[in-house]
Amino acid sequence: MKLSKENIQFIDTYLENSEIHFADIRMEMVDHIASALEAELELSNELSFYDAFKAYMVCNKARLLQDNEGFLRNTYNNLLKLIWINMLTINSLLVFLGVIISARLFINNFGFETIETAIFSFPLLFFIVLGIVYLVVLRVFNYDRFSGVERIGLVYVFLFQVVNALHLLTKYQAESESGQWIAAGVFAISCTLIYAFVKTAVSIMRNYEKEYKKLV
């Protein structure tokens, strides 16, 4: 017996009220619970959805909430795979090449010292702006929170620090040709990460909407 749209929404609302705040995590749980309930309802025509749901949650609620960490780990692993895939696309390569060439020309015209701060502050400032936009979307438009989107921020901050450390280690070569190319490359990598992460965030939200529609 396939659950109705109202049944799916009931499960989703129940999980949200049980402090499962992330929409993508709830979707996985809803799919898991719905499959179990459909199998149970197939075995008994006299059993109602609400009775089956109540019985299932009495037996499994504690385990499901404990398994929340497992769902988070699974989401995190999928997130890293998706970021990696998006980093290896032709569009990401074009972004990298376009930025590194533009940055190198900028250094030639204005000097490395003039734009050094801007080059390495822009990716971080842009990331902060994206974070503010995400918060506005949550608060103003009452959009769902996504574990995958929020964890992107942690991954980006870590990778940005690694890339920036690479720049600091080679800073003494700033006056040389190779040093300027390294600086331009660090900036290009940071911008490419931003592109890949934004694309990943959009993919996560679109995939949620598509998969949720399949459930209902």
Q: How far is CA 35 from the centre of its chain?
A: 26
Q: Read off the pLDDT band of 90 (50, 70, 90).
A: very high
The more confidently predicted of residues 158 and 56 is 56
Question: What's the average model confidence in pLDDT over 83-105?
Answer: 90
| Whether residue 168 has pLDDT greater than 80 | no
Q: Specify the 3-state DSSP secondary structure of 145.
A: strand
- Tell me the average pLDDT across 48-72: 80
pLDDT mean over 39-43: 83
Given pLDDT bands bounded at 50, 70 and 90, which one contains residue 170? low
Residue 192 vs residue 149, higher pLDDT = 192
Q: How far is CA 112 from CA 170, 171, 172, 179, in A?
A: 13, 11, 12, 10
Stretch among 54-58, 171-175, 189-193, 195-199 having the lowest mean pLDDT: 171-175
Question: Which one of 11-25, 94-108, 121-135, 168-182 scores highest in mean pLDDT?
Answer: 94-108
pLDDT the model gives residue 94: 95
Residue written as token pair 């749209």: 5
The residue behind tokens 């003039």 is 114
Are 22 and 145 contacting, i.e. CB atoms less than 8 angstroms apart?
Answer: yes
Rounded to 10 degrees, the C-alpha dihedral 170/176/181/186 comes to: 20
pLDDT value of position 166: 67
pLDDT at 91: 93
